[in-house]
């Protein structure tokens, strides 16, 4: 099976009764292994909600979600955590690096849950840091890095456990356009190595980096095109 993400008639409702917000309404799409997809829409359109559901951080109110072959609706929290750890690498706008750890330690962290010993974790972390041109900053702390360097370290962390899917929510949102372009080049490289990349953004120029573009508006998919 080559479909790594399947959403079928997925709805997400936050709150209840008169306060209810329909963040996703009857959303259906699937993503195949190795695709590079952007999910684009204005603020409040449901992008992060969609990303949280794809990333097994949240479950839908209704509908079917299958991530890397697992139905998340039926899964317990610890099973979702295992799925996230094995199959998904996350990249966020604000990096989410641990400030008390060096770049190397941050990138080694996800490998701890994969049964790697310390030496193997170190070796793999150095390898992915080299791929994002961060070999000369491995002993630095996040506070000692530029925004672009922080995001490259975060991409290395996302890639460390060789996930099936890399999910990025506004990864260039805090960067100037030049640095943002460099970071987008890294995602292109990640995708070329065979990883499925899903990029969430409100920025049309960023969305155009992906070969497949899904547009969401008010919780509804309004466009899904491949170039």
Ligand X SMILES: Nc1ncnc2c1ncn2[C@@H]1O[C@H](COP(=O)(O)OP(=O)(O)OP(=O)(O)O)[C@@H](O)[C@H]1O
Residues interacting with Mg ion, by CB under 5 A? 47-48
Q: Tell me which residue of 185, 182, 193 sits closest to 159, measured CA to CA.
A: 193
| Rounded least distance, CB 47 to Mg ion, Å | 5
State the sign of the Cα–Cα–Cα–Cα dihedral 166, 23, 72, 82.
Answer: positive
| Rounded least distance, CB 49 to ligand X, Å | 3
| Rounded least distance, CB 15 to ligand X, Å | 5
Residue 41 binds which one of ligand X, Mg ion, none, with CB within 5 to 8 A depending on kind? ligand X
| Residue 48 vs 106, nearer CB to Mg ion | 48
Residue 69 binds which one of ligand X, Mg ion, none, with CB within 5 to 8 A depending on kind? none
| Residue 44 vs 194, nearer CB to Mg ion | 44
| Rounded least distance, CB 20 to ligand X, Å | 9
Distance CA 152, CA 190 (A): 12
Q: Which residues bind ligand X (CB under 6 A)?
A: 14-15, 21, 23, 41, 43-49, 202
| Residue 22 vs 122, nearer CB to ligand X | 22
Task: For the chain, list the strands marked E by DSSP.
Answer: 3-14, 21-32, 36-40, 62-67, 70-71, 88-92, 165-169, 196-201, 212-217, 220-226
| Residue 48 vs 68, nearer CB to Mg ion | 48
CA 118 to chain centre: 26
Distance CA 217, CA 125 (A): 38
Q: What is the helix (H) or strand (E) element at residue 108, kind and residue range?
A: helix 103-108
């Amino acid at each position: 099976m080559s479909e790594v993400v399947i959403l079928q008639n997925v709805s997400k409702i936050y709150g209840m009764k008169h306060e209810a917000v329909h963040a996703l309404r009857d959303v259906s799409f699937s993503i195949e292994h190795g695709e590079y997809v952007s999910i684009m829409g204005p603020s409040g359109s449901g992008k992060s909600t969609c990303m949280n559901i794809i990333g097994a951080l949240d479950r839908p109110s209704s509908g079917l979600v299958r991530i890397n072959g697992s139905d998340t609706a039926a899964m317990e929290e610890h099973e979702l955590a295992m799925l996230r750890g094995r199959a998904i690498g996350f990249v966020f706008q604000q990096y989410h690096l641990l400030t008390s750890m060096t770049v190397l330690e941050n990138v080694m962290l996800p490998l701890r849950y994969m049964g790697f010993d310390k030496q193997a974790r170190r070796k793999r972390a150095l390898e992915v840091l080299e791929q994002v041109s961060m070999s000369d900053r491995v002993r630095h702390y996040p506070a000692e890095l530029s925004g672009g360097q922080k995001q490259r370290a975060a991409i290395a962390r996302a890639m460390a456990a060789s996930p099936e899917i890399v999910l990025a929510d506004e990864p260039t949102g805090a960067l100037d356009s030049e640095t943002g372009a460099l970071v987008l080049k890294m995602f292109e490289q990640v995708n070329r190595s065979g990883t499925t990349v899903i990029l969430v953004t409100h920025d049309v120029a960023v969305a155009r980096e992906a070969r497949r573009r899904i547009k969401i508006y008010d919780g509804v998919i309004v466009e899904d095109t491949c170039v």
